[in-house]
Structure 1
Amino acid sequence: MHRLGIGAEHRKKRVILIADETTVTVVHLTTGEILATNTINPDRSYWRNTQKEPGRWPGSFS
């Protein structure tokens, strides 16, 4: 099973997923706004939204 990271702010929104061999794009059903773009990596179970800056990662404390 794979999970797409699109962000908690988009929870319960109706979306359309557009997928090809390398990318999944999440589009808001009503507005057409692109909510997320995720690069497919079959070796990972979580595919992060490449449109957002990564959050805090373990070991990245200043």
Structure 2
Amino acid sequence: MKYFLSLSIIFTICLGQWSSSPDDPLWLGDGVQAQVRATSDGGAYVAWLSDGNYHVYLQHLN
């Protein structure tokens, strides 16, 4: 188990998409007007708009 965990951490660090400069952050997406609302069970709903036509997206997180 320790071997698997160590190996997965090493691969995560090696294959991560790190920015080469702290002054130039990595662009992750183009969503606008993100909103987050907590639920009573400890989860959250995240909503955002995307694309030029403003497609609406909603995601539930546990």
TM-score (norm 2): 0.23
Between structure 1 and structure 2, the one with the greater Rg is 2
TM-score (norm 1): 0.23
> Whose helix proportion is higher, 1 or 2?
2
